[in-house]
Structure 1
Amino acid sequence: MSQVEATTVKKQLFINGEWVEANKYTPLYSPYSNEEIAQVASATAEDVDRAVDAAYKAAETMAELPAHERAGILENVAKILEKRADEAAGIIANEAAKPIKTARAEVDRTIATYKFAAEEAKRMHGETIPMDAAPGGENRIAYTVREPLGVIGAITPFNFPMNLVAHKVGPAIASGNTVVLKPAGQTPLSSLFLAEVFKEAGLPAGALNVVTGSGAVIGEALVKDDRVKKISFTGSPAVGIGIRNKAGLKRVTLELGSNAAVIIDSGIDLDKIIARCVSGAFAFQGQVCISLQRAYVHEDLYEEFVEKMVEATDRLKLGDPQDPSTDVSALISSKDVERALAWIEEAKQGGATVAAGGKAERNILHPTILTGVEAALKVSCQEVFAPIIVINKVKSVEEAISQVNDSRYGLQAGIYTENIHTALMATRKLHVGGVMVNDIPTFRVDHMPYGGVKESGVGREGVKYAIEEMTELKLVVFNQNY
């Protein structure tokens, strides 16, 4: 055995509260240094079956667990994460190349998400129905209750490997469900760390199972298994549409692609918003579902906006994700760098101007600003998932709204305007899941309803709203005429 093999961390599957050996392990490499980080278990369909079986058997225990106990477990998770926050952030920075200061912010949001889940565990309730509002309903008492679905299959992406997991696992546990979690292939360590945290927090065995490996193998097994009552998926539209087509009557929440845009009306003080727009475009290398990819700027401010964006972008520090001063680090893979560079080249060939960036060093793509981009080019109409922003000139907000809506996607959009009538008009006419007035589309806090329209998906996350989709509404009617 070589020295490298001898010192490599080996990560097993987490099934029924225990660490389980797999037949095969796959090396995991750092996106930044390309060094091997770990050997990670590759689950087979049989492993997934065992995980689903464990979750299915634990479902009754979880459903009967009192709300205060479920809340207590989630509160314990938040407390443990607070104590181990630096360790958690280090894991994210290592496996995802997320700059450490951004990773710390993700850990803080993850803690908040589990706290919200603990609170919502105690707020699950139905309503009373006035049956005598209808003829024949006299002397009847009716009310609704929410009951857990059972086993939830959670499939999560690489870009927020702790917080997007929390947005599936937190509400599932809060509402008395059990979970089989399949994390992204590049970021399994965060989920395996969370499994350890949940075990320490007192979660019953089988309530959370983590299976790592091939998305095709694990996803297929989860979607086809009748014991799995819901799939919650965050990822690409192609995979999400495939899941929905195979899911039958199984509940499905899909958070898919985006191509988020901001509109900047005339009369805006650009100095107040430039830092925000740079953060929206380039935080975590643009690998954020609601990353600011398109800006439509009123012609009165266009030249000044481009100039100030370039100046601010040039001040960003590129480098090691573990360095606290780093703003932008490596993309998740070399293939993504190659794709992004190809899209930039296509834009240049199509007449666009590279105002900043447009080049790469190893896996670090320099933050890139493109102007004069035709709407049909990939950097404008597809999800770039890289540190690239397209800035285009418009004559009016109405023109900008038309450009924003001319997209397959509709997750969130932002508009900066001093005019309340313009703002209200934009909230009506923008065809997206969320409109941020006087902010970038990249804004999200963890208790708000989050989700999109068109190819951005179906359903909503945000703990309260996820719980609604992870529970069944039951009606109870007492007939007092008996």
Structure 2
Amino acid sequence: MIINSIINGEEYVGEEKVKIYNKYSNEVIAEVSFADEENVRRAIGLAEETFESKRLSKYERYTILRNAFDIVKRRKEELAADLVKEVGKTIREARVEIDRAVQTLLLSAEEAKNLTGEQIPIDATPNDDNKIAYYTREPLGVICAITPFNVPFNLACHKIGPAIAGGNTIVWKPATDTPITAFKLMEILKEAGLPDGFVHLLYGSGSKLGEIFVSDPRIAKFTFTGSPAVGKWLKENSGFRSVSLELGNNSPNIIHEDADIDLAAQSCVKWGYTNAGQTCISVQRVYVHENIIESFKDKLISYTKKLVIGDPMNEDTDMGPMISVREIERVEKWIEEAISGGAKIVYGGTRQDNVFYPTIVEDVNESMKLVCEEIFGPVIVLISYSDLDQVIKKANDSEYGLQSAVFTQDIDTALYVANKLRSGGVVINDGSTYRADLMPYGGIKASGIGKEGPKYAIKEMTYMKPVIINLKKR
């Protein structure tokens, strides 16, 4: 399967090509060609030209996104199978991603109709009783969307859906590892009625395309999901332009002494090993009260042992491979470094080919990468605590702040911890990885800037324009 960039509705065949492998079997499943600088700039120019000359009405935006919703629903099994091959997530996880993308498109469609301003009570100021005013929400222009490999279809919909709903045009660079579902999303948008020129799909090296994007003043906004290092670079080089950054995390999950231990253990296993731990809000740091840590550990190991590991296309499989051998070797190195510093593997720590098995590590300290950095792999670290305020301080002692969780059966404790935790979101009695696509989602500190969720993203992809009318006096 040959996959090319799509510029103004036409495929562009680049000279540089990269093979894409099935993440479990290592079979070649596609070859993707990269766009060169000339054609990247051509795509940006065409996006600007389309924005200036071909505005879609709100009803047209709604209709297109609503049609895309129907098409994705219809093609669910096909798209899910593609996700299994190019990402390595299990077929059941892949179906969940497509179901979520369906909702993201529907939410975006509805927001296209709801995009409105309001009257400004300008006559509430002195000497302005002869004026009326209101504001509208206007599109920013060309949006540059850069999406990751781990949830490639739904996170693309989280950027492209609100951008279309807001009346913008888009240049989109997906992760090189996951080109197939990106190409098919373009097919779907075209079938849904989106005219050529509104979304341009560009494959290529992240560093090369990034340099081109930030140097081009025709791009009005950047929306990026990926590593903190790249997000920081993008922010530093984007000048006065708006940026939305969804970056890393090392999610703390506090298991208090009155928690439902069984629920907490099941949740940590579910969310710690979803997509082989390759989610920004994966359960990572698990702080357990010293009075229950042994019983919690036993249950955590018990539930982890029940996971079926292997071929992600198998309906019974709970966890498949990681995205690459390079990433597996990084995780192995971090674990080795922790062990040399006194940490101990409680369970797992082994690999077979592209699969790194679910792993539990204890006796860690805050200086170890397994604790202070983002693992982005199937590893959970256990840390004992005795004092609630001290563990909240430890949970907050991180450069990240995307999402966190607390398990307790006491509502006062739950709300106390939720109030004190410094993160973009707090989940009570479920893992930190829980996310609903309609909620505001985004972090603080090095975890990013801005919020996703169609209702919130569309506001960041538009601006407020006040209109003031000076009426004749009668």
| Matched residue, 2:22 | 30
Matching of residue 52 in structure 1 with residue 48 in structure 2: no
Amino acid at match of 2:40: V
Q: CA contact under 8 A between 1:21 and 1:41: conserved in structure 2?
A: yes
State whether residues 337 and 363 of structure 1, in contact with CA within 8 Å, keep that contact through their aligned partners in structure 2: yes
From 382, 389, 410, the equivalent of 2:380 is 389
Q: CA deviation at 1:273?
A: 2.9
Q: Post-superposition shift, 1:398?
A: 1.3
Q: Determine the structure 1 residue equivalent to 2:424.
A: 433
Q: Shift of the alpha carbon at 1:58?
A: 1.4
Q: Return the match for 2:452 from 458, 461, 464.
A: 461
CA distance in 1, matches of 2:129, 2:411: 48
Q: 2:314 aligns with which of 323, 332, 355?
A: 323
Q: Which amino acid aligns with 1:446?
A: D
Kept in 2: contact 1:44–1:217 (CA 8 A): no
The answer to whether structure 1 residue 232 and structure 2 residue 223 are counterparts is yes
Within the candidate set 239, 252, 262, 1:248 is matched to 239
Report the counterpart of residue 123 of structure 2 in structure 1: 132
Matching of residues 241-390 of structure 1 within 5 Å: 241-390=232-381
Shift of 1:420: 2.2
> What amino acid does structure 2 have at the position aligned with 1:19?
E
Question: Residue 120 of structure 1: CA displacement?
Answer: 0.5
String of CA shifts for 1:76-134, please: whole Å, max 9, x gaps. Answer: 10111111111100111101111111011000000110000000000001121111222
Say whether residues 1:42 and 2:38 are aligned partners. Answer: no
Q: What displacement does 1:171 show?
A: 0.2
Q: Distance in 1 between matches of 2:350 and 2:449?
A: 36
Q: Is the 8 A contact 1:263 1:397 kept in 2?
A: no
What letter is aligned with 2:43? A
How many Å separate the matches in 2 of 1:228 and 1:372?
A: 48
Moved more, 472-481 or 223-232: 472-481
The alpha carbon displacement at 1:136 in A equals 2.2
> Matched residue of 2:381: which SS?
strand
Q: For residues 206 and 220 of structure 2, what CA distance do their matches in structure 1 show?
A: 19
Q: Distance in 1 between matches of 2:263 and 2:426?
A: 19
Tell me which moved more, 96-105 or 412-421. 412-421
Distance 2:77 2:163 in 1: 26
Letter in 2 for 1:109: R
Query: What's the TM-score once normalised by structure 2's chain length?
Result: 0.98
Query: Which of residues 77, 84, 87 in structure 2 aligns to 1:86?
Result: 77
The answer on whether the counterparts of 2:17 and 2:34 sit within 8 Å (CA) in structure 1 is yes
Structure 1 residue 481 displacement after superposition: 4.7
8 Å Cα contact 2:12-2:35 kept in structure 1: no
1:219 aligned residue: 210
1:477 is paired with a residue whose SS is strand
Q: Which moved more, 1:430-439 or 1:174-183?
A: 430-439
Match of residue 5 from structure 1? none
Please list every run of 5 or more consecutive structure 1 residues that lacks an aligned counterpart in the other structure: 1-8
Offset, 1:61: 4.9
CA separation in 1, counterparts of 2:368 and 2:207? 30
Q: Whole-Å Cα distance in 1 between the matches of residues 452 and 317 of structure 2?
A: 30
User: Which residue matches 1:143?
Assistant: 134
User: Are 1:155 and 2:131 matched, yes or no?
Assistant: no
In structure 2, list runs of 5 or more residues that go unmatched: none
- The answer to whether the aligner puts 1:122 opposite 2:113 as a matched pair is yes
User: What's the counterpart of residue 448 of structure 1?
Assistant: 439
> Which residue is equivalent to 2:185?
194
Matched position secondary structure for 2:297: helix
Quote the Cα distance in structure 2 between the aligned partners of 1:351 and 1:281.
23
Q: Alignment partner of 2:203: what SS?
A: coil
> How far has the Cα of 1:272 moved from its partner?
2.4
SS at match of 1:354: strand
**How far off is 1:137 after superposition?**
2.2
Q: Which residue of 1 aligns with 2:3?
A: 11
CA distance in 2, matches of 1:412, 1:61: 41
Q: What TM-score results when the alignment is normalised by the length of structure 1?
A: 0.96
The farther-off stretch of 206-215 and 28-37 is: 28-37
Give SS of 2:145's match: strand
Give 1:441 deviation, angstroms: 1.0
Question: Residue 248 of structure 1 aligns to a residue in which SS?
Answer: coil
Report the 3-state secondary structure (helix = DSSP H, G, I; strand = E; otherwise coil) of the residue aligned with 2:48. helix
**Separation of aligned partners in 2, 1:136 and 1:216:** 55
Contact 1:265-1:417 within 8 A present in 2 as well:
yes
SS across alignment from 1:245: helix
Give 1:480 shift. 2.1
CA contact (8 A) 1:170 1:463 kept: yes
Deviation at 1:248, TM superposition (A): 0.4
Residues 424 and 481 (structure 1), Cα distance of their counterparts in 2 relative to 1, 3 Å cut? farther
Q: After the TM superposition, which of the residue ranges 110-119 and 268-277 deviates more from structure 2?
A: 268-277
Q: Using the TM superposition, give the Cα deviation of residue 29 of structure 1 relative to its aligned residue in structure 2, in angstroms.
A: 1.6
1:399 equivalent in structure 2: 390
1:184 aligns with 2:175: yes
Q: CA RMSD in A?
A: 1.1
Instruction: State the shift of 1:139 in Å.
Output: 2.2
1:43·1:214 contact (CA, 8 Å) conserved in 2?
no
Q: What corresponds to 2:414 in structure 1?
A: 423
Structure 1 Cα separation of the partners of residues 247 and 263 of structure 2: 31
Q: Name the CA distance, whole Å, in 2 between partners of 1:91 and 1:255.
A: 24
Deviation larger for 32-41 or 177-186: 32-41
Asked if the contact 2:68–2:105 (Cα under 8 Å) also holds between the matched residues in 1, the reply is: yes
Aligned partners of 2:170 and 2:346: how far apart in 1? Answer: 46
CA distance in 2, matches of 1:444, 1:105: 12
Q: How far did residue 434 of structure 1 move?
A: 0.6
Is 21-30 or 203-212 further displaced after alignment? 21-30
Paired position in structure 1 for 2:157? 166
The whole-number CA distance in structure 2 between the counterparts of 1:314 and 1:61 is 59
Cα distance, 1:259 vs. partner? 0.6
Q: Is the contact made by 2:260 and 2:408 (CA closer than 8 Å) also made in structure 1?
A: no
